[in-house]
A and B are shown apart, each in its own frame.
Chain A
Amino acid sequence: MIALMSEISALLAGFGGFTALAFAMDRHHRDMIGALPKGRNLLMFKAGGWAALSFAAVPLEARFGLAVGLIFWLGMLTLGALGVAVALTYRPSLLPAAGLIALPLSLCAAALSGVS
């Protein structure tokens, strides 16, 4: 088990998940892409975002147990959400790519942390 990998995995999943949720919101979609969302594929991003946020709890629960893991999860989600907010403010066009990369990296970190 490599130190801090559970925390890093949760942070990346939180960041990626919130990016997907932001992508599914009119205002933030426009911030990233420059246009309002077309079509109905937003539901997919919403579901994916929530799934990623839920997944963020997994490595923390595995490492710290149910109760402390839950507290940790909320803290890491706060950090992930603030990360998305900062990115949306200063580098919105890079955010979709960053969010997309964060998710597989989160899985890698989870694997390194010993969750399988």
Chain B
Amino acid sequence: MKEGFRQSMAWLHTWTGLLVGWVLFFVFVTGAFGYVNSEVSRWMRPELPMVGAPPAAKTLLPAAEKWLRAQAGDAERWYIFLPGRRGETQLEAAWQAWPKTGEDYGAYTRATIDPATGLEDKGRVRETGGGDDLYAMHYALRYMPYDWGIRIVGVCAMFMLVAILSGIVTHKKIFKDFFTFRPAKGQRSWLDAHNLLSVTSLPFHLMITWSGLIFFLYTYMPVPIDTLYPDGPSRDRFYEQVYGREDSDKDVKPLAATAPIAPMLAQAERAWGAGRIARLTVEHPGRADARVDIAAHTLTTLSRSGPKLSFDGVTGARLPDEGEKSTATADFSLALLAVHEGHFAGPVLRALYVLSGLGGAAMIATGLLLWSTKRKAKLAKASKLPFGILLVDILNLGTIIGLPIGVAAYFWANRLIPAMMEGRAAWEIHALFLTWGACFLYAIWRPVPKAWVEMTGAAIAAFALIPVVNLLTTDRHLGVSLPAGDWTLAGIDLGAIGIALLFAHMLGIQIRKRRAAASVPAIARARQVEAVPA
């Protein structure tokens, strides 16, 4: 091999990055919204109450219990989600049915409950996928079977890891020119921006990519576990050995009245303070082996759920805390997953997570743009661009500007589709993808440089108008949320304005560049005129 190590790494970085860059951009953008999934879901259901001191847990409990009893007196598990976490104001309940024969898990049903009546808030609160649908797309994509989605994202994430590591070698100057950014210099500026975004968030990029792969470790690398633990029972033993997870008992025990839950709730509130309870889980309600787990929502460490108290569901007696039974390996991988999800993050750290995610998307976008800028610079004199470069240009424009417009359309659709329309949640998502598709058609139809300017303008309008659409369609707009100090609601509107400003900045750069390009012949002419008398 004649090429040196760095050249071969540069080749690897260029082509792995290009091949999966567009999917990764989608993963990073929707994943960044995943960090504010609760906040987006709350914004998307303007019928829910404004923030305020949520009602005491013990006044909410009967309503949730009433609904669960009416829906699923005999279920494998009940969940009650209390308000108060991350600006959430609604009471929610869910239940998991006993698995039918041939099923691994029973059906899961979740609903928002009206605390006054104990009935589902259907017909009052609009149906929406909210932030959770955006979040789910970042690892399972959409409009395809789950198993395909996670595998496609998995392959792209492996390419990402290769691109990051080879990128460190390729752009070795990132450490020497650590802080360098030279604006308005064409290809050099893109390279600087790409390097700066990469190197300043390198720990985040490595963490998010690697831990993302760990989520579906046994799907992506099935051979070891298939060989060592080939069948169902041995697979259960594996999970028990590594994660200390006991095989949940699928035998249905005889009926037995479940003890009142309110005293358990009071005991938990004494331990953690009022308003600190996130979730109650009742295992096997109404059965002889019922158990109640109460979880707090204050996470002080890298875990995926808060501290927990357990009670015997029949006697109501407090059960001893389960000791940690998992192995160090499992603890490490669970901590990695916790860092990926960031459930423990308060508002500031959560904002850093969102910014890091969007920064990752920007790093990918600048890398993609660099690919075509570099090749076009070499072809400056060619009258016609090769098909490959045209294709990359269209994919870049359609994704880098088109996807954000699509996401904005998702927020618009949430406000504009009639609140009580049947199947509206699916149409909100269709709005995202139809708009994104339309952006691609536009990018194909128009000359790419012109379309860049026009679509960036459209992106500015799409995001800047979200607070306006909100103002016209609901009473949860900035004029209400800001005076009430409801930062969850206001944060989404203000965030949309922030993204609009970002696109406005991009548009400014493009317009200045076009002007500069247009004035080059003028300067050249002026020089000629000056040259004449001399």
Name A's B-contacting residues (CB within 8 A). Answer: 4, 7, 18, 21-22, 25, 27-28, 64-65, 67-68, 71-72, 74-76, 78-79, 81-82, 84-86, 88-89
Contacts and interface: CB of A to CB of B under 8 A. Distances in A.
B181 A85 contact: yes
A42 to B, nearest CB: 14
Given A74-B203, A74-B204, A82-B200, A27 B356 contact: no
B179 A18 contact: yes
Interface stretch (B143-151, B346-354, B512-520): B346-354
Contacts, number: 68
A105 to B, nearest CB: 18
B180 A79 contact: no
Contacts of A68: 300-302, 344-345, 349
A58 to B, nearest CB: 17
B352 A84 contact: no
20 contacts: A7-B348, A22-B179, A27-B176, A28-B178, A64-B300, A67-B335, A71-B342, A72-B348, A74-B204, A75-B353, A78-B200, A78-B201, A78-B352, A78-B359, A81-B200, A85-B180, A85-B181, A85-B196, A88-B179, A89-B183
Q: Please provide the 6 A-B residue pairs with the shortest distance between their CB atoms, ordered closest to farther.
A: A75-B352, A85-B179, A81-B200, A67-B302, A89-B181, A74-B203
A75 B204 contact: yes
A110 to B, nearest CB: 16
If over half of A's interface residues share one DSSP class (helix, strand or loop), that class is named, otherwise mixed; here it is helix
Contact of A71 (B177, B349, B355): B349
B171 to A, nearest CB: 15
Given A25-B178, A71-B302, 10 more contacts: A18-B179, A22-B178, A28-B179, A67-B335, A72-B352, A78-B201, A79-B355, A85-B200, A88-B179, A88-B181
A84 to B, nearest CB: 5
A85 B196 CA distance: 8
B446 interface: no
Interface in B361-390: none
Contacts of B345: 68
Nearest to A82: B200
Interface string B289-306: 000000000001110000
A62 B483 CA distance: 33
Interface size class of B (residues with CB under 8 A): 20 to 34
A21 B345 CA distance: 29
B204 A72 contact: no
Interface string B179-205: 111110000000000001000110110
B339 interface: yes
Given A88-B179, A89-B181, A67 B301 contact: yes
Interface in B198-250: 200-201, 203-204
A78 B178 contact: no
A27 B335 CA distance: 39
Contacts of B203: 74, 78
Contacts of B196: 82, 85
A86 B348 CA distance: 21
A84 B356 contact: no
B334 to A, nearest CB: 12
B349 A75 contact: yes
A70 B302 CA distance: 10
Contacts of A74: 203-204
